[in-house]
């Protein structure tokens, strides 16, 4: 971990936030919000998409671009839409998605499981936006998943993007307690730099605390430096 820390130690939280704003998924959400201009509807779609964003047939970037383009064209034609319709709209979208065709029935069941939580969130959107740990915990409970499950943690990352976009690009920091979403890329970094570490989660937790950048935001720094770090 110390070798990786030495390479990354000069990065700041502002660097991480600026990198996030260049993320193509962030830009896809910007496009979607520019068309919706409804923060509650916007977040409901983001949350619903997060919990079915796995086993894709493309990169996540391509899929989120498809998602944003689709709902940018569909939603304006449905003025006055109610929250409960989000689930049905997503269910209509999945079978027609080019990049999210695997396990559609399972993903539809996950969407129905989320429905009650979306209704609750709509009523307490400000509370949850300011209490991301509670939001993560309740979302994990709703979806019958662990708190550090990739789709759960990724949902928090997308919510942070959502908050930045609706607040005119003023970023909200993720709590240090929320873990980085482990993927193959982060696993490769761990295998190369783990030194005496055997626990990948402890590795990234310690790195995050040492650099003083929450894990979710640290992910962005590792993402843009991945190829260089793996040389």
* 67-108: pLDDT as tens digits: 999 998 887 655 555 445 889 999 999 999 999 999 999 999
Domain count within the chain: 2
pLDDT at 37: 81
Q: What is the pLDDT of residue 83?
A: 46
Q: What is the pLDDT of residues 199-221, one digit of tens each?
A: 999 999 999 999 999 999 999 99
Residue 68 lies in a domain: yes
Together in a domain, 6 and 86: no
Query: Which of 129, 144, 166 is the last residue before a domain boundary?
Result: 166
Quote the tokens at residue 186: 């982060």
Q: Which two tokens stand for residue 40?
A: 């509650």
DSSP secondary structure letter of residue 175: P
Whether residue 63 is predicted with pLDDT greater than 70 in this model: the reply is yes
The dihedral formed by the CA atoms of 105, 107, 113 and 114, expressed in degrees to the nearest 10: -150
Examine the domain organization and report whether 36 and 146 are in the same domain. yes
Average pLDDT of 116-140? 90
Does 13 share its domain with 27?
no
Do 81 and 9 belong together in one domain? no
Shared domain check, 133 and 224: no
Residues 99 and 74 placed together within one structural domain of the fold: yes
Distance CA 16, CA 100 (A): 29
Q: Are 55 and 102 in contact (CB under 8 A)?
A: yes
What length does the chain have?
A: 231
Whether residue 44 sits in one domain with residue 122: yes
Quick one: average pLDDT of 123-147? 93
Quickly state the pLDDT bin for 46 (edges 50, 70, 90). very high
Domain boundary among 166, 194, 213: 166
Q: Where are the alpha helices (DSSP H) in the chain?
A: 2-8, 13-20, 24-36, 39-50, 60-74, 85-93, 104-123, 125-129, 132-142, 150-166, 184-193, 200-211, 215-229
Task: State how far the alpha carbon of 69 is from the alpha carbons of 36, 48, 98, 105, 110, in Å.
Answer: 11, 16, 12, 23, 23
Q: Are 180 and 208 in contact (CB under 8 A)?
A: yes
Active site positions, annotated: 150, 183
Where in the sequence is the domain holding 68, given as residue range(s)? 23-166
CATH code for the domain in which residue 72 is found: 1.10.340.30
Q: Mean pLDDT, to the nearest integer, of 134-155?
A: 94
Q: What is the CATH classification number for the domain harbouring 195?
A: 1.10.1670.10
DSSP string, 54-69: -S-SS-HHHHHHHHHH
pLDDT band at 120 (very low <50, low <70, confident <90, very high): confident
187-192 contact pairs (CB < 8 A, 24+)? 188/230, 189/4, 189/222, 189/226, 189/229, 189/230, 192/229, 192/230
Q: What is the mean pLDDT of residues 141-159?
A: 94
**Residue 76's pLDDT is what?**
65
Q: Are residues 13 and 34 in the same domain?
A: no
Kindly state whether residue 171 falls inside one of the protein's structural domains.
no
Instruction: Indicate if 91 and 204 belong to the same structural domain.
Output: no
Q: Do 49 and 155 reside in the same domain of the chain?
A: yes
Please, what is the Cα angle at 132 between 17 and 88, to 5 degrees? 100
Mark residue 11 as left, alpha or beta (left: phi above 0; alpha: psi -120 to 50; beta: remaining): beta
The pLDDT of 56-62, averaged and rounded, is: 92
pLDDT band at 118 (very low <50, low <70, confident <90, very high): confident
Q: For residue range 155-198, what is the model confidence (pLDDT) as tens digits?
A: 999 999 999 999 888 888 999 999 988 889 999 999 999 999 99
Tell me what percent of the residues of the chain surpass a pLDDT of 90: 74
Residue 11 sits in the same domain as residue 83: no
Half-sphere exposure of 218 (CA within 13 A, CB side): 29
Pair (133, 210) in one structural domain: no
| Whole-number average pLDDT of the chain | 91
147 in Cβ contact with 137 (< 8 Å): yes
pLDDT, average across residues 41-51: 91
Which of 128, 145, 166 marks a domain boundary? 166
Total-model pTM:
0.91
């Amino acid at each position: 971990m110390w070798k990786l820390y030495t390479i990354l130690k000069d990065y700041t939280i502002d660097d991480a936030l600026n990198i996030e704003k260049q993320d193509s998924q962030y830009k896809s959400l910007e496009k979607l919000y520019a068309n919706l201009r409804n923060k509650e509807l916007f977040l409901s779609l983001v949350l619903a998409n997060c919990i079915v964003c796995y086993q894709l047939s493309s990169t996540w970037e391509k899929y989120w671009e498809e998602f944003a383009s689709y709902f940018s064209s569909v939603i304006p034609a449905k003025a006055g839409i109610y929250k409960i319709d989000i689930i049905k709209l997503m269910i209509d979208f999945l079978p027609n998605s080019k990049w999210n065709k695997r396990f559609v029935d399972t993903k539809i069941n996950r969407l129905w499981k989320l429905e009650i939580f979306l209704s609750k969130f709509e009523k307490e959107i400000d509370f949850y936006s300011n209490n991301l740990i509670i939001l993560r915990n309740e979302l994990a409970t709703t979806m019958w998943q662990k708190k550090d499950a990739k789709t759960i943690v990724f949902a928090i990352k997308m919510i942070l993007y959502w908050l930045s976009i609706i607040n005119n690009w003023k970023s909200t920091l993720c709590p240090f307690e929320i873990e980085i979403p482990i993927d193959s890329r982060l696993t490769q970094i761990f295998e190369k730099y783990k030194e005496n570490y055997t626990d990948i989660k402890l590795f990234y937790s310690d790195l995050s605390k040492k650099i003083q950048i929450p894990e979710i935001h640290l992910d962005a720094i590792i993402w843009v430096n991945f190829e260089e770090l793996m040389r």
